[in-house]
A = this chain, B = another copy of it.
Amino acid sequence: MPYTYETNGAAIYKESFATIRREADLARFTPEEEPITVRMIHAAGMVGLEKFVHMSPDFATAARAALANGAAILCDAYMVSEGVTRPRLPADNPVICTLRDPAVPQMAKDMSNTRSAAALELWRPHLEGALVAIGNAPTALFHLLNMLEDPDCPRPAAIIGCPVGFVGARESKDALWEAQPVPSLIVEGRLGGSAITVAAINAIASYAE
């Protein structure tokens, strides 16, 4: 007997987002922030994620304005860059991941760091005014913070800092939140990852649900 189920994508989204808004505690988010948080909960399949989501007061507006102005989106992993829904982007924004650049393995050796961190050195020509999205590697977020310690390093418009895991994830996000070199979004603690990060980008790109 064939299985019957909801096959209309728009209806699935609508019901999903209504469920999230019914169950999640979204009161502390502004109207600019709320759709970002809702989409992150959607990607994680987890009501309660909102407790760990923190945004600088000017994050949502700065990130949206950057994309509207054509900013590049710089991603630490292909699972992030592949997840960005291109038709949602307001200005056909470039989506860049440098992790597989052939120079990266040797750079990582020379820096005694991970390839994820080394790959960020190749972001420098694209960094000014960009939306940075780190959804995988704590070492990438730490290295970005160190790059931004140099006042001559170009400034991104906003940073999504959502690395995931058990070593350095919490610490790198705490460091970003304390420094806030530019408007930032973090998921506090161990939770994070590419799906949540992609959801934030897609929500910033468009209010369409």
Given contacts A3-B175, A12-B114, A194-B194, 20 further A-B pairs with CB under 8 A are A2-B149, A3-B145, A3-B172, A5-B138, A5-B139, A6-B167, A7-B114, A7-B117, A9-B114, A12-B167, A12-B168, A16-B167, A20-B166, A45-B165, A45-B169, A45-B190, A45-B192, A79-B79, A79-B194, A164-B195
Copies of this subunit: 2
Smallest beta-carbon distance A191→chain B, Å = 5
Residues of B close to A175: CB separation below 8 A: 3
User: Which residues of A approach B to under 8 Å, CB–CB?
Assistant: 1-3, 5-9, 12, 15-16, 19-20, 42-46, 78-79, 82-83, 111-115, 117, 138-139, 142, 145-146, 149, 164-169, 171-172, 175, 189-195, 198
Measured CA separation A142–B16 after assembly (Å)? 17
Q: Tell whether, in the assembled complex, residue A19 and residue B194 are in contact, meaning their CB atoms are under 8 Å apart.
A: no
Given contacts A45-B190, A139-B5, contact A16 B166 (CB under 8 A): yes
Residues of B close to A145: CB separation below 8 A: 3
17 interchain pairs, CB-CB under 8 A? A1-B149, A3-B146, A3-B175, A6-B168, A7-B113, A12-B114, A15-B166, A15-B167, A16-B166, A19-B166, A43-B164, A44-B191, A45-B166, A83-B194, A193-B195, A194-B195, A195-B195
Measured CA separation A167–B5 after assembly (Å)? 9
Q: Tell whether, in the assembled complex, residue B44 and residue A164 are in contact, meaning their CB atoms are under 8 Å apart.
A: yes
Across the A-B interface, the 6 shortest Cβ-Cβ residue pairs: A45-B190, A45-B164, A16-B166, A7-B113, A78-B82, A19-B166
